[in-house]
Amino acid sequence: MFHHFFAPVSPHTHTAEYVGKLLFGLVFVFAILAVLQAAPKTWRKSIIAVFTFLGGIYYAVEFFWPADKIGPNAGENWLTPYQPFVANLSAVVGSFSVGIGMISLLQFHTRAIARQRAGWGNSVALILCFAAMLTFGLLNQYAPHLTIIPPLLPFGPFAPRAQNSHDVFNFLYLGGYANLDAATFSLIAFYIASASYRAFRVRSWESTLLMVSALIVMLGATFGAAITGGIHPYLSPGVENPWANLRIERLSEWLLTQINAPAQRGILFGIYVGGLAVSLRLWLSLERGAYFDKEI
């Protein structure tokens, strides 16, 4: 019966039932929220703790419940099929928060414009670009062939053909967004150069280790091979040269696989255990810190 109640209803053939159920859904959830709101304030922390625990219980039980070993659903238990649904549900509810950031940012910039704060012209540009990207992004989805700019001139950069919403979207996304993204990413190249100039100094034992290891790997990747190129990898066909292990590219490879790998794994031990501890504290409402200590 439960299943039947939640079954899809065609809005075209059963319009009344569809609208009724929509209204019911809204009223039902709002009623639950109203009850929660009406509960005594002292209960609120416990209510939050219960909901937090319930939030985590699905994935935890799904993991610990034994899975079928054989049969058509091997590797699954009775909860596994709901995984996509839970993921969808949390994604949908989570996306409703999109407005929070947007409101915060637009508020900041509209205020900057209203008060004509220094650089308010930039705020105008920001809001215009936001509106344009949103509009043409959606038009590109729903009406990509809609003409936006009619063919103005028979020649020139604005091409003799009309620009539709897909073209305008490409102008904004490929011309603007993608190029600015790549340009920002490439800023790192400059900063990596200045950071290595400053950081690679034989100041202490630790900074020396950092520098030597970085230089070996850098050389191993480019012309380092020339420095130790005299050491041939083979003594004679089929016979390895043991000294070839001292070639810079081999040293670099050794640093990356024999030093870097275990060190990173050691860090992982702490990070995974730390993550486990924080997750447990959050799940069981044992967490401490600013947000969690507050009286509500």
Partner 1 sequence: METSLWQRMQTIDRRVIYALLLLVIIVPILVPSLGGAVPIIPSQQSLDFYNTIEGLAKSDPERKKLVIVDGWWAAGTRGENQWQEQAILTHLMQRRIHFATLSFDPQNKTLTQNIAQNLAAKYHYVYGQDYVLWGYRPQFVPTLKGISSPNGLQEAIKTDQNGTPLGQIPVMKDIKDLKDIGAIIEITPTGSLGTWIGLVQGKYNTPLLYAPTAVMAPDAYPFLDSGQVSGLLTGVKGAGDYEQLTGTHTFGTRATGALSLVYALIIVFVILGNVGYHVGRAAARREGQ
Partner 2 sequence: MQHASDQWHVAILVVLLSLIIVVRILLGRHGAAPFIRRIAGLNAIDEAVGRATEMGRPVVMVPGISGLDIVTLQALSIFSYVARNVARFGNRTIVPTIDGLTTGVAQETLRDAYADSGRPDLFHEDDVRYLTDQQFPFALGVAGLLTRERAAASFLFGTFAAEALIMAEVGQEVGAVQIAGTPSTTQIPFFIAACDYVIIGDEYYAATAYISRDRTLLGSIVGQDYCKLILLAVALLGCVAFTWYQWLTQHHHAGPLIEHLKYIVNYFKPG
Partner 3 sequence: MSEYLCHLFAPQLLLGAVGTIAVLSRVFKENRLYRLFEHIFLGLALGYGVEITWTEVLRPQFWDPLVAGQWAWIMTVPVGLMFYGIYTRRFEWMSRLLFGVFFGLAAGTVFQDFSGGFMPQVIKSYKPLVPPPPTPGDHFLTLHAVSFVLNNLLFMTILFCVVLYFLFAFEQRNRFIQGSARTGRWFLMLAFGAIFGSTIMTRMALLIDRMYFLFVEWLRWAKP
Binding partner selected for residue 65 from partner 3, partner 1, partner 2, none, CB under the kind-specific 5 to 8 Å limit: partner 2
Q: Which stretch binds partner 3 (CB under 8 A): 5-13, 65-73, 74-82, 225-233?
A: 5-13
Rounded distance, CA 183 to CA 263, Å? 33
Strand partners, 149: 163
Q: Pick from 225, 241, 285, 287 the residue near partner 1 by CB under 8 A.
A: 225
Q: Which of residues 105-124 bind partner 2 (CB under 8 A)?
A: 105, 107-108, 111, 119
Q: Which of residues 228-267 bind partner 2 (CB under 8 A)?
A: 264, 267
Residue type, 105: L
Residue with smaller CB distance to partner 2, 31 or 267: 267
Rounded least distance, CB 259 to partner 2, Å = 13
Q: Pick from 142, 155, 197, 291 the residue near partner 1 by CB under 8 A.
A: 197
Binding flag, residue 70, partner 3 (CB under 8 A): no
Rounded distance, CA 239 to CA 32, Å? 78
| Total Cβ atoms within 10 A of residue 219 | 18
Q: Which of residues 245-264 bind partner 1 (CB under 8 A)?
A: 249, 253, 256-257, 260
Non-local CB neighbours of 39 within 8 Å, separated by 6+ positions = 47
Contact 281, 56 (CB under 8 A): no
SS3 213: helix
Closest C-alpha among 71, 129, 81, 127 to residue 103: 127
Residue with smaller CB distance to partner 1, 190 or 269: 190
The encoded tokens of residue 215 equal: 């230089």
182: left (phi over 0), alpha (psi -120 to 50) or beta: alpha
Non-local CB neighbours of 243 within 8 Å, separated by 6+ positions = 231
Q: Which of residues 71-100 bind partner 2 (CB under 8 A)?
A: 75, 77, 94, 97-100
Q: Pick from 138, 143, 227, 286 the residue near partner 3 by CB under 8 A.
A: 138
- Binding stretches for partner 2 (CB under 8 A): 62-67, 69, 75, 77, 94, 97-102, 104-105, 107-108, 111, 119, 180-181, 184-185, 187-188, 191-192, 194-196, 198-199, 210, 214, 264, 267-271, 273-282, 284, 286-291, 294
